[in-house]
Amino acid sequence: MTTAKRDTYTPETLLTVAVRVFNERGYDGTSMEHLSKAAGISKSSIYHHVAGKEELLRRAVSRALDGLFGILEEPGATRGRAIARVEYVTRRTVEVLVGELPYVTLLLRVRGNTNTERWALERRREFDQRVSELLKAAVADGDLRADVDIRLATRLLFGMVNSLVEWYRPQPGGPSEWEQLADTVVQLAFEGMRASR
Amino acid sequence: MTTAKRDTYTPETLLTVAVRVFNERGYDGTSMEHLSKAAGISKSSIYHHVAGKEELLRRAVSRALDGLFGILEEPGATRGRAIARVEYVTRRTVEVLVGELPYVTLLLRVRGNTNTERWALERRREFDQRVSELLKAAVADGDLRADVDIRLATRLLFGMVNSLVEWYRPQPGGPSEWEQLADTVVQLAFEGMRASR
């Protein structure tokens, strides 16, 4: 039997619990019952805060998407040479992934069975497209190699960056750790692993 | 009501159906009922072929793991300079991913709730470790840059390669397509995206 505790949740703190459960069980595999048990409050208390689990999903992926799209509006992404902008966006994407890890993890696992999931997939494609255009501009400037298919390169770049959510676990007491991680990602993606000859 | 068809499955063809369902619903979210419906045969007919869904999972991830570990025994992976062996293993990993796409997809989504899943995760770590050692040897030879953390580089390399299962869909009539894909992966991972200066 679940002992319901007094409901002191805000939509924000309830979201933290929901995202953890979604990531553990998958969004499809999570019922309102699971959310109620994990939060320790009744289902009707949850409905007091949100219309249902899809609203929780929408709020969670919005947070991840706002973080990612926010990068594209920053001066580092909008001014200067395309190659510098691409590197800036790559570094900041690593920072957002690390800073919003559970939210971005959920975003990247979305499959597209509900309207919210399809919308999230569409927004992800938009983001990839925007970065793809930056890569194209850097190729046109002669800074990136012209012999690589840009669509493929964008996918591989994000494949590398997004894999963080599968294996990266924040270390206690390492606030600047993401910077070293971002350095390595940028180095590998743009300079490659080979020693200079 | 499901109309059961005559059971003409072999363990091999049944596996094809099971892997498709596991990838669609997740292994945890798949019941024997789901498998029975997808295969169009009764649950007891399935039990005639295998002991249960965990056996199907074990067979499926074994196929992926055998493909991957097989690479490490090939002459290209065991003879010659470490850098050439690393590039060979990377190319062949892309080939195995593309050739055994549903099996490797399942392997990469395994989370570790059953003995079979924990065993699969352990084997994946072993494979990564073997490649990591090759990378170390290539650094010692002076062919790969020494300023990159090898464990991190291995994860990013596999992050890039493994992302294939999320977005790669075989094109009809493109038998040599994987070669172009493998070329791009090797180029990006080892030479980077930057134009030579």
- Whether the pLDDT of residue A1 is over 50: the answer is no
Residue B175 touches partner A, C-beta closer than 8 Å: no
Residue A163 touches partner B, C-beta closer than 8 Å: yes
pLDDT per residue as tens digits for the range A151-161:
999 999 999 99
pTM of the model: 0.88
Q: How far is B131 from chain A (nearest CA, A)?
A: 14
- Considering A113-117, B50-54, B84-88, the range whose residues carry the highest mean pLDDT is B84-88
Are B164 and B94 contacting, i.e. CB atoms less than 8 angstroms apart?
yes
pLDDT per residue as tens digits for the range A13-45:
899 999 999 998 889 889 999 999 999 999 999
**Beta-carbon separation of B195 and A152 below 8 A:** no
Of B152, B153, B163, the CB nearest to A155: B163
Q: How confident is the model at residue B80 (pLDDT cuts 50, 70, 90)?
A: very high
Q: Does the ipTM exceed 0.95? A: no
Q: What are the structural domain ranges in chain A?
A: 11-50, 58-191
Q: What CATH number labels A58-191?
A: 1.10.357.10
What does the pLDDT average to over A138-153? 92
Residue A70 touches partner B, C-beta closer than 8 Å: no
Residue B188 touches partner A, C-beta closer than 8 Å: yes
- Whether the pLDDT of residue A3 is over 80: the answer is no
What is the 3-class SS of A6-42, one letter each residue? CCCCCHHHHHHHHHHHHHHHCCCCCCHHHHHHHHCCC
Domain range B61-191, CATH class: mainly alpha
Q: How confident is the model at residue A113 (pLDDT cuts 50, 70, 90)?
A: confident
Nearest alpha carbon to residue A186 among A100, A98, A89: A89
Helix (H, G, I), strand (E, B) or coil at A144: strand
Most B CBs within 10 A among A94, A108, A154, A160, hence the mutation to make, goes to: A160
- Whether the pLDDT of residue B79 is over 90: the answer is yes
**Beta-carbon separation of A160 and B160 below 8 A:** yes
**Beta-carbon separation of B192 and A192 below 8 A:** yes
**Superfamily designation of domain A11-50:** Homeodomain-like (1.10.10.60)
What does the pLDDT average to over B110-138? 94
Most A CBs within 10 A among B108, B160, B183, B185, hence the mutation to make, goes to: B160
- Residue B26 region by backbone torsions, left for phi larger than 0, else alpha for psi between -120 and 50, else beta: left
Interface of B with A in 27-46 (CB under 8 A): 28-29
Same fold, A11-50 and A58-191: no
Residue A72 touches partner B, C-beta closer than 8 Å: no
**Beta-carbon separation of A153 and B184 below 8 A:** yes
Helix (H, G, I), strand (E, B) or coil at B194: strand
* Measured distance CA(B15)–CA(A73) in Å, rounded: 48
Residue B189 touches partner A, C-beta closer than 8 Å: yes
Provide the β-strand partners of residue B144: A194
Helix (H, G, I), strand (E, B) or coil at B144: strand
pLDDT per residue as tens digits for the range B85-113:
999 999 999 999 999 999 999 999 888 88
Most B CBs within 10 A among A193, A194, A196, A197, hence the mutation to make, goes to: A193
Residue B171 vs residue B186, higher pLDDT: B186
User: What does R_g of chain A's alpha carbons equal in angstroms?
Assistant: 19
User: What does R_g of chain B's alpha carbons equal in angstroms?
Assistant: 19
- Whether the pLDDT of residue B119 is over 50: the answer is yes
Of A83, A166, A192, the CB nearest to B189: A192
Most A CBs within 10 A among B24, B165, B167, B188, hence the mutation to make, goes to: B188
Residues in chain A with CB shorter than 8 Å from the CB of B187 are 145, 147-148
pLDDT per residue as tens digits for the range A68-79:
999 999 999 999
Nearest alpha carbon to residue B39 among B18, B24, B23, B25: B18
* Measured distance CA(B62)–CA(B59) in Å, rounded: 5
Residue with tokens 């892309």: B94
Are A21 and A34 contacting, i.e. CB atoms less than 8 angstroms apart?
yes
**Beta-carbon separation of A142 and B188 below 8 A:** no
Of A25, A83, A159, the CB nearest to B160: A159
pLDDT per residue as tens digits for the range B4-38:
567 788 888 899 999 999 998 889 889 999 999 99
